[in-house]
Structure formats: structure tokens, C-alpha cells
Amino acid sequence: MASVDPFDSALDLLRRLNPKHTADHLNNIITLNPSLAEDLLSSVDQPLTVRRCKQTGRDYLLCDYNRDGDSYRSPWSNQFDPPLYDGVGGAGGVGAGGASEGAGEGAVPGERVRKMEIKANEAFDVYRELYYEGGVSSVYFWNLDDGFAGVVLLKKASPSGDATSSGVWDSIHVFEASKRGRHTNYRLTSTVILSLATKGASLGEVDLSGNMTRQVEQNLLAENDESHIANIGRLVEDMELKMRNLLQEVYFGKAKDVVGDLRSIGTLSEGQRERDTQRELIGSMRR
């Protein structure tokens, strides 16, 4: 038997085990196979953590893309918390040269990309209010050799005061924008992590949790930096609409259908009789 890549096996396992506890499963897999730690942590999406920016008092979201060691960069102040000990990024980012390589951990965008990042945060803050009517959003950008990349994060928890049902939504949209002649090539990978739970005396406990990932690629014109943000905004908005419909279909349609496939509320013989009658009817109409 050909040897299987343990990384693929880890991803397959995470696709099978209860998605409500992905973080625990991830830590367990890393304990079993520590060499997978870096690859797994950067490719497996987990529910986002909220932190309050010390400078602005606004909430922001934590992920691998605004992390440097144990510190996270606030999109509102551009400051790391806790501050980076060597002073890098201490006063609004390092120079354009230093931080552009290596998308990912702790990357601080160069001056132009940081300006776009500020605008994108403002734009998605509006988007968040319009669609989520609450919650937290954060956008992080970083430089690429032939363009830039970023992640748009949105998180909302439904009223925790509601005792019978609760929900948490996490959106993680990672994109790359690369120059292709006159056009810009946008590649977007979106994951939504959605957890719902409800309980009651006659219902017992119901937990519906999971995540879904979709990708899209488009070549668009971007005359200036503002139009980049508009393009990314439309891509994310369309993707979220598509994914919300998909989640609705899977969580409430598919799940219910499978339960109905396991057990039929009506009797099976009656269902069979109805199908037979219908077949006869159709047959007699054809005659």
C-alpha cells in the first residue's frame, strides 16, 4: 500500500470527528504527531477569539494572520498586544521593506497596504452592521510580491440570554490579489463555522455544529486602491450570501431529510400505497 501523507490523514480525520470540538481534536492530533503542528495550525480554521484593543477600546478578532509569537495586532490601532519586546511594529508598522515577505505570522503590511487595510476595516465594519447587526469584524492585509493578500473576519454570537437556543457564526475569508496585466486576479477561500444548539423538555438536546469551505476566483479591473476594496467587498458579500443559503440547506434541509430517511413519520405501507395509486393514475392518463 502506498504510504499516506499524515497531513492529509489529519485533515480527513478533522472532517469526520465532531466539528464542535475541532480545537480539541487538533491539539490531540498534534500531540500524536508534533511535526504536523505548523501546517495544521495554519490551515485548519477554528472559531475566532475576541480581544479588546487597549488603544481604541474597540473589539477585534484574533487569528494566525495578525499574530506574532504570543502577541496580536489590532486593526484599529495597528499596535501589538502585548507589545513586541524588540519594538518592531511599535509605532504603526515597520517600513515597507521589512515586513512584506512571508504572509502569515505577525506580518505587518507596508504603508500603502496598511492604508488599504484601514479603509477595508471601515468598509467591513459597515457591512457587519448591515448584515449582522452586531458582532465583531476585523480585516488584516499583508504584502505579496505581485500584489497583496488579506483576511476578512466576522463573528457573531446570538443572544446568550436566550436559554433555549443559541448560536455562533464565524466567517473567515482569506484572499490573494495578484496583478495579471490590466486585471487583478482575486482568489478567495471562505470558511463559515456555524454552531447552533437548542433544548427543551419535549425536545431534549439538539446540537447542530459544523463548518463549510468554498473557493472562488475572479479577474477584475481595479483602477485604484479603493476599487480593490470594493472588489473584495463584493466577492465576500456574494460568497457569504451563497454560503448562508448553503448552510441553511444543509443544516435544516439535509439534516431533516436524513432523519426522515432513517425513520418515516407516516407508515411505510401507506407511503407505498400512495405511490402505487399515483403510478396507476399516471399510467391511466397515458393510456
Partner 1 sequence: MSSNKAIVSSFVEGAPPGELADVIADIKALTSSTPNLINELGPAFEKYNEEQFTTVKLPGGSQPVIISSHNSLGDGRYYDTESASSFAFDHATQKASGVQSHVLEGAQTDLVNSTLKSLGSYVKEHFPNAVYGVYPIEDDSRLAVIIVANKYSPNNFWNGRWRSLYIFDPASGALEGSIKVDVHYYEDGNVRLLTNKSVNASVSSGTGAGIAKEISAAEKKYQEELNRSFTSLSEGAFKALRRQLPVTRQKVEWDKVASYRLGQDIGGGAARR
Subset of 119-178 contacting partner 1 (CB under 8 A)? 119, 122-123, 126-127, 129-133, 156-159, 162, 165-169
CA 149 vs CA 77, 173, 181, 195: distances in Å: 20, 11, 18, 28
**DSSP letter string, 197-263:** EEEETTTEEEEEEEEEEEEEEEEEE-SSHHHHHHHHHHHHHHHHHHHHHHHHIIIIIIHHHHHHHHS
Listed residue (108, 170, 91, 118) closest to 143, CA to CA: 108
CB of 208 to partner 1, least distance (A): 5
Residue numbers 267-286 binding partner 1 by CB under 8 A: 267-269
Q: And the C-alpha cell for 120?
A: 477595508
Q: Give SS3 for 22.
A: helix
Between 49 and 248, CB nearer to partner 1:
248
Q: Which amino acid is at 266?
A: G
Residue numbers 45-104 binding partner 1 by CB under 8 A: none
| Beta pairing class for 183-200 and 165-180 | antiparallel
Residue numbers 238-267 binding partner 1 by CB under 8 A: 240-241, 244-245, 247-248, 250-252, 254-256, 258-259, 261-265, 267
Verify binding: residue 23, partner 1, rule CB under 8 A. Answer: no
Report the alpha-carbon distance of residue 88 to residue 109 in Å, rounded: 12
CB of 287 to partner 1, least distance (A): 31
Report the alpha-carbon distance of residue 267 to residue 257 in Å, rounded: 16
CB of 179 to partner 1, least distance (A): 20
Count of positions on this chain that bind partner 1 (CB under 8 A): 90
Q: Which region among 8-16, 51-59, 89-97, 106-114 touches partner 1 (by CB under 8 A)?
A: 8-16
CB of 246 to partner 1, least distance (A): 9
CB of 139 to partner 1, least distance (A): 13
CB of 85 to partner 1, least distance (A): 34
Report the alpha-carbon distance of residue 214 to residue 202 in Å, rounded: 37
Residue numbers 186-225 binding partner 1 by CB under 8 A: 194, 196, 198, 200, 202-214
CB of 19 to partner 1, least distance (A): 4
Q: Which region among 9-17, 60-68, 88-96, 140-148 touches partner 1 (by CB under 8 A)?
A: 9-17
Between 224 and 284, CB nearer to partner 1:
224
Which residue(s) pair with 173 in the sheet?
A: 152, 190
Q: Which region among 21-29, 105-113, 140-148, 176-184 touches partner 1 (by CB under 8 A)?
A: 21-29
**DSSP letter string, 140-206:** EEEEETTEEEEEEEEEEE--TT-SSEEEEEEEEEEEEEEEETTEEEEEEEEEEEEEEEEEETTTEEE
